[in-house]
C-alpha cells in the first residue's frame, strides 16, 4: 500500500452532514487533500449507519466511492490476525473494527496520515510503539 491519507468515519460523516459541528473543518480538509483517500469497509458501514436517518445521506456515502474520491484498498480477511491482536491490545480503549483497520492500514503504508476526529488515535500505536500521524482539529 502506498503512502496515503487514511479516512476515518468522523470526517466523512461531518463532510456529508452540514449540521455536524465539524462540517466546515471537514469540507476544508477535503478541499486541501488530493484524492483519492483510502479507507476500509468498516468505515463505510459506520458512515452509512450514522447518516442513515439523514434523509438518505447514506446513499451519498456510496457516491463518494463511486466518484473515486475515496478508495477501499484494505482486505480484512488478509489482515484478520493483526486486527484481532490490535483489538486485544486496545480492549480497554475500546478499539472498534474501523479503528483497528485504520491502524493496520497505517502500519502497512509508511508515512500515511489518518484523517480523523477520534482522539483515540493519540493512544493507538503502529507496530506497538510508533505514533500514528493524524490530521485532526
Does the pLDDT of residue 87 top 60, yes or no? yes
Taken in order 135, 116, 57, 77, the sign of the CA dihedral is positive
pLDDT tens, 127-136? 989 999 999 9
What is the pTM (predicted TM-score) of this model? 0.93
Where do we find the cell 489518518?
114
CATH of the domain at 106: 3.40.50.1010
Please give the tally of structural domains in the chain. Answer: 1
Three-state secondary structure call for residue 13: helix
Q: Give the mean pLDDT of 48-69.
A: 82
Domain residue limits at 92: 5-135
Beta partners for 131?
125
Amino acid at each position: 500500500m502506498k503512502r496515503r491519507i487514511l479516512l476515518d468515519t468522523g470526517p466523512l460523516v461531518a463532510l456529508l452532514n452540514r449540521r455536524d459541528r465539524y462540517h466546515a473543518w471537514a469540507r476544508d480538509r477535503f478541499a486541501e487533500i488530493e484524492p483519492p483517500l483510502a479507507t476500509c469497509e468498516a468505515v463505510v458501514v459506520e458512515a452509512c449507519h450514522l447518516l442513515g436517518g439523514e434523509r438518505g445521506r447514506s446513499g451519498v456515502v456510496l457516491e463518494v466511492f463511486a466518484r473515486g474520491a475515496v478508495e477501499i484498498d484494505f482486505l480484512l480477511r488478509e489482515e484478520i490476525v493483526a486486527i484481532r491482536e490490535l483489538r486485544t491490545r486496545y480492549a480497554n480503549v475500546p478499539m472498534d473494527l474501523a479503528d483497528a483497520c485504520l491502524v493496520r492500514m497505517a502500519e502497512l503504508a509508511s508515512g500515511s496520515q489518518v484523517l480523523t476526529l477520534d482522539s483515540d488515535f493519540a493512544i493507538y500505536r503502529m507496530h506497538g510503539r510508533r505514533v500514528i500521524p493524524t490530521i485532526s482539529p
